[in-house]
Structure 1
């Protein structure tokens, strides 16, 4: 396993009484930072959410996928992250250029950017007719505590969540990663106390990654050596947008709206929220799409 590649490990510990996940997401968060030009506080907020998304995606199976929406009342607006079971993640923040003064601990003020009230909505497409939806109020805005609360309330799974993004003075991402530890039936009170103490004592994830720890090493800080890694999953930024999809979207606007665009501008530019890719269409291309948008005569 290369030391600097984005990877997620998952396993169990303490005789199968704890389920554990840990991820390094440095490249992924760096890619989001570059594509959206996020300022440091926004980088940390989007990066923490994307890291949580990557780990939660790994809890899914097959073609299942999920969307996280963090809707706080802070200046960053809404943060949206999509993730799936294949380690593919994408995301954006409404206002990527938010940067606040450090908080009283000298850290990036993520709660100030996200807001200390609002909601986290999580929607999972599990291949059923209706997606599963869960929502919880934001309780801190620092995000790790908020996702911990989400698991306890919405999924009835007591969990500990750690998320971190370390940003350089020039705004680039030095380290990013996180862990989620979930309690399964059978854990004794003594073991629970021991786990709570270990989670309370662990240094920040980014500090551990900075010391050269692997995601597996991060988990050992919490559960010790009684750790069984079941598998690893490479993580990567991936967006599903394409020229074809954008064309379909334009056709779906309908004849009158497309005619209006051609008359007003003679061209169209569509920017993907998730990856900031720009798709440009000139008058000729738009007229072709307009033909497709016109109702077809019944044969």
Structure 2
């Protein structure tokens, strides 16, 4: 379990969210058997999705971040509902690269490559909101800041990080998003930039504060009068089920199901998010075919 703190400064011109997601990223790493660099990439996207998911108003609202890069990781996806449940996957979780010679850090931008980032928000309307921006660096945090500026015209500071131990376990993971509202004064901006310039990195800050989000918030917002609005738990959890998979198969229509029956006489489906496996025999497929015919009659 992780958690997110949402806060605002006294003038209500600066909004900030701080996330501690070490356990969440560890669960994802265990499920997907990720390499060190893949853990960092997937963990950053999961943390971003968890933070942005906490901004949604209704429990069933959801947000999905998809990174489409041309690097060895392939597609990276994370989705979070307003209930605090986040899940994700990447096409090639074993993708890895040597640490960067320039700074000795995991080469997240290298395995992501060039491409774009799409964010979809489903708030119960007929058509979900979708926005896409080109990747700026592939480091995720900078790309997300570019998205906020281009899509929402909101200047933002974003920090996302995952520290992976020598045994591939997750030592620290988390992040923050700070956003300036219209009317933010130059003095506030200068002070905020000064605070951020002192940081060694978000994972170093998490370790320094022993995973205490409130202490991290104090350091990020030193010199500001800040009010915490909410503390929300975050879990890595997939909501797939046999019933949902059946509905998905039924939705492909009678003709496709009949082809599966004739050619394979069975169907096996594995969930991308949690690796749960679902097997359907000939009788199961016949039931789904009957249901599909009834729906399409």
Distance 1:45 1:32 in 2: 11
Query: Are 1:122 and 2:122 matched, yes or no?
Result: no
Instruction: Give the corresponding residue for 2:157.
Output: 160
Distance (whole Å) between structure 1 residues aligned to residue 243 and residue 128 of structure 2: 26
SS at match of 2:16: strand
- Structure 2 counterpart of 1:227: 226
Assess if the C-alpha contact under 8 Å between 1:86 and 1:233 holds in 2. Answer: no
Per-residue deviation, residues 224-261 of structure 1 (Å, max 9, x unmatched): 16221111000011222110111112222333322332
For the residues of structure 1 that align with 2:25 and 2:161, how far apart are their CA atoms?
11
> d(CA) in 2 for partners of 1:165 and 1:51?
9
- Tell me the distance in 2 between the aligned counterparts of 1:20 and 1:297: 49
What do residues 145-195 of structure 1 show as CA deviations (whole Å, max 9, x unaligned)?
111111111111111000011111222212110001111233221221111
What is the deviation of 1:297?
A: 10
Is residue 33 of structure 2 the alignment partner of residue 68 of structure 1?
no
2:92 to 90, 95, 117: 95
1:248 aligned residue = 247
Counterpart position of 1:186: 183
2: distance between equivalents of 1:21 and 1:175? 17
Cα distance, 1:292 vs structure 2: 2.2
* CA offset digits 1:42-98 (Å, max 9, x no partner): 111111001000001111111321111111121111111111222111111111110
Counterpart in the other structure of 1:8:
4
1:206 corresponds to which of 183, 203, 213? 203
Question: What's the counterpart of residue 26 of structure 1?
Answer: 22
Residues 1:37 and 2:33 are matched in the alignment: yes
Q: Which moved more, 1:252-261 or 1:21-30?
A: 252-261
Count of aligned residue pairs for this structure pair: 293
SS in 1 for 2:12: coil
Q: Structure 2 unaligned runs (5+)? A: none
Q: Which residue of 2 aligns with 1:112?
A: 110
Greater alpha carbon shift after TM alignment, 51-60 vs 263-272:
263-272
- In 1, are the aligned partners of 2:68 and 2:116 still within 8 Å (CA)? yes
Gaps in structure 1 of 5+ consecutive residues: none
Supply the distance in 2 between the matched residues of 1:149 and 1:126 (Cα, whole angstroms): 23
Structure 1 vs Structure 2 CA RMSD: 1.7
TM-score by length of 2: 0.93
- Which residue is 1:147 aligned to? 144
- Give, in whole Å, the separation in 2 of the partners of 1:195 and 1:296: 57
Query: After superposition, what is the alpha-carbon deviation per residue over 1:109-151, rounded to whole angstroms, capped at 9, x for unaligned?
Result: 0000111x21111111122222111111101111111111111
TM-score, structure 1 as length reference:
0.93
Aligned-partner SS, 2:166: coil
